[in-house]
Structure 1
Amino acid sequence: MIDAINRLPVLSFLWPRMLWLMALLLVLAAAYVWLDGRRRRTAVEYPALKTVGLATRRGAGWRRHVAPLLFLVALAALTFAIARPQAVLTLPSRLDTVVLVIDLSGSMRAKDVAPTRIRAAQVAAKHLVDAQPSGVKVAIVAMAGTAAVAQAPTRSKEEATAAIERLQPQGGTALGNGMLVALTTLLPQTAGDVQRLMNEEDLPRRPQGADVNADTDAVAPGSYAPGAIVVFSDGESNAGPAAMQAAELAAAHGVRVYTVGVGTAEGVVLSVDGWSARVKLDETVLKQVANATGADYFRIEDASGMKKVYRSLGTRLAFDKRDQVEVTAFFAALGALLAACAGMLSLWWFGRVV
């Protein structure tokens, strides 16, 4: 209940001084109470006036207060409209391309998430593809000891799903490489910086507040609306550039990198090709990547968690932009609607407008 209240939009006003007009509503309410009391006294002192309708009509009861109350609330809504209210709302995104990065490392064969981590990641990824609007392009990047594009951006959900199904476990984990390949798939103009990182060279420093490219609204993390990257991984990495270096480059271009942790914190002992090791979910790096790029971290531990992930992640991708929007029209429309209702109810019950 408290969380739901905290998620309600907070109003601010462009013309807050106009809210002083609310004081007039208190005057009108007091005047109505005084007039109603006066009418009651008149009915008691002059019973004969009931015959001409100046007193309360028989059977009216509480109904005679409904129309005035609605009219008062309508005036309050219109007063809010005059003050030009604003609210921070979550708006539909302008998403054009989603790049899914799927970890195919040996540790993804672990069965602490049924049937295996990699299979759980594939199922969640396919659900996420199905949830995308028809106009959104989806690309698939396979990540193991190296990373490569398994499916170029396509609007065909069948092609994207087939590419996910073809993925097979391999050796090694290059989390940073997977993110960098996804970044160049999303923004080809980043290829130069990506190559420098892969060659372990330092990137040139960008002036604070400088534009990265024409397609980017700002260099602030998460500001690139047309695209996003989603990484399915258990977080372990033993090759290529550090994941946080790739995350910093993505953040510099405003690209959000959502991360989905697949596995359990306790992990399991995995035996493959004659070696055994306990493989655990490393949430730390996945959370850091998501936070650095203005995105969110999710976790898959079981079937119910998997459903929750693709639903929540699908919602984030569909409605990902929070912005301050003027909602004057809403309050104006509400005021007009309530005023109309007040007039119609009064006309229906008593044959007159308020």
Structure 2
Amino acid sequence: MFYLWPEYLWALLAVPLLPVVYLWLLRRRGKPAVRFSSVAVVRAAHAGRQWRRHVPPALLLVACCGLLFAAARPVARVPLPWARSTIMLAMDVSLSMRVSDVKPTRLKAAQEAAKLFLSELPREVEVGLVTFAGSTQVVQRATHDRGALVTAIDAFQMQTGTAVGNAIVMSLSELFPDHGLDVGEMTYGNNQNYGGRGGAGNSGNGGNGNNRRSNARSLDDRVKPQPKQITPVAPGSYNSAAIILLSDGRRTTGVDTLEAAKMAADRGVRVYVVGLGTVDGESMSNGMPIYLRLDEPTLREVARMTGGEYHHAGTAEKLRSVYETLSSRVQVQSRETEITALIALGAALLAATAAALSMLWHRRIA
């Protein structure tokens, strides 16, 4: 714990003076002169209630200590739900997901586990959904609407290819829309030739005109934002978002997986990776076992580079347990948080309690 305004802690030195002042006031207060036939009877009647007169001042003293302590603005590491947090689910929908080594199929098991994961997350956490195969799509922007997410998960369509790196970049573009990340530009570049005719052998004005056309750019290219230059931060230091990547294969197209992982690491975004299926590969009817082989070393490296974790899920039950584990990991973060308001609230409640007890027992606030 530390304090934003530690100089205010000096005010706590005045706290020991408050009990001294209280005792002085008690002695100074004159006793009412009342005649009784027996003083012993009066003492016996009030002996059991003498402690009550000291309870409200004691509570008020503790409240004053709390307010002075809060004035120093203490900051402590406390477990709190993420504020404005977003989780991007990136799920593989390549054709190998139809294999039934994970029952009933890899895709069905992944869909059910993802829906279970959503049900375990706090309602205040936004979730976005990205699917990837040969191409990558944002099928649901980050939202609190769990029903919309479940509908999108149930509507998955399988495709050929596996662009793992594109899935990471697409998730980052959703988390950082102002960074100018363009998956298409990173995959295919911008080397289109708008001239189409003429070459090195052309001469005269026609050749020069063709050259000018070949260097022209479309209006879309001119207004496209350039990628934002960022200052790399520590991997895993961005606590407002995370990416959960599920894949059963290896990259066959698109952005290099480790290049995409570095982009996530530079932005401090953790990537939690779930590897699904077999590591050794399995034959299909079309005889392409390479597309069924899980690229576990690369996926582990993605998790390591970004400060995330890697989990291998070889069965439907294991897949569900992995998602439950991830749910518990991303719900709460221990963060340095100013607790001034909590301490001040506690002090105010103590002061109100002291006033209420004084009115109840003594018919006055004293």
- TM-score category of the 2 structures, normalised to the smaller one: 0.5 to 0.7
Q: 1:151 to 1:84 in 2, by over 3 A?
A: closer
Does the Cα contact within 8 Å between 2:250 and 2:295 map onto a contact in 1? no
Does the Cα contact within 8 Å between 1:229 and 1:255 map onto a contact in 2? no
Q: 1:167 to 1:251 in 2, by over 3 A?
A: same
Question: Identity rate of aligned residues, in percent?
Answer: 31
Does the Cα contact within 8 Å between 1:140 and 1:150 map onto a contact in 2? yes
For 1:120-269, what aligned pairs fall within 5 Å after superposition? 120-127=109-116, 138-143=128-133, 146-149=134-137, 151=139, 153=141, 160-167=149-156, 173-184=162-173, 187=177, 189-191=180-182, 195-196=185-186, 213=228, 219-220=232-233, 229-234=243-248, 236-240=249-253, 241-252=255-266, 254=267, 256-263=269-276
Note the residue ranges of structure 1 that are not aligned, 5 or more in a row: 1-10, 40-47, 200-210
Number of matched pairs: 310
C-alpha displacement of 1:136: 5.5
Does the Cα contact within 8 Å between 1:121 and 1:262 map onto a contact in 2? no
Does the Cα contact within 8 Å between 1:261 and 1:281 map onto a contact in 2? no
Q: 2:5 aligns with which of 15, 21, 24?
A: 15
C-alpha displacement of 1:77: 0.4
What is aligned with 2:354?
342
What is aligned with 1:330?
342
User: What letter matches 1:261 in structure 2?
Assistant: V
C-alpha displacement of 1:125: 2.9
State the SS of the aligned residue for 1:167.
coil
Give the structure-2-normalised TM-score.
0.61
Q: 1:74 aligns with which of 41, 45, 63?
A: 63
Distance (Å, rounded) in 2 between the aligned partners of 1:281 and 1:65: 72
Give the structure-1-normalised TM-score.
0.63
Moved more, 18-27 or 155-164: 155-164
Q: 2:302 aligns with which of 289, 297, 308?
A: 289
User: What letter matches 1:80 in structure 2?
Assistant: F
Note the residue ranges of structure 2 that are not aligned, 5 or more in a row: 30-37, 190-225
User: What letter matches 1:93 in structure 2?
Assistant: A
Which of these two proteins has the greater Rg computed from alpha carbons? 2
State the SS of the aligned residue for 2:137.
strand
What is aligned with 1:7?
none
Distance (Å, rounded) in 2 between the aligned partners of 1:262 and 1:288: 12
C-alpha displacement of 1:60: 1.9
Q: 1:335 to 1:213 in 2, by over 3 A?
A: same
Distance (Å, rounded) in 2 between the aligned partners of 1:33 and 1:246: 70
State the SS of the aligned residue for 1:272.
coil
Q: 1:165 to 1:68 in 2, by over 3 A?
A: same
Deviations 1:297-353 (Å, cap 9, x if unpaired)?
Answer: 66762544434434654x36xxx7x76554433333322221221122133224444
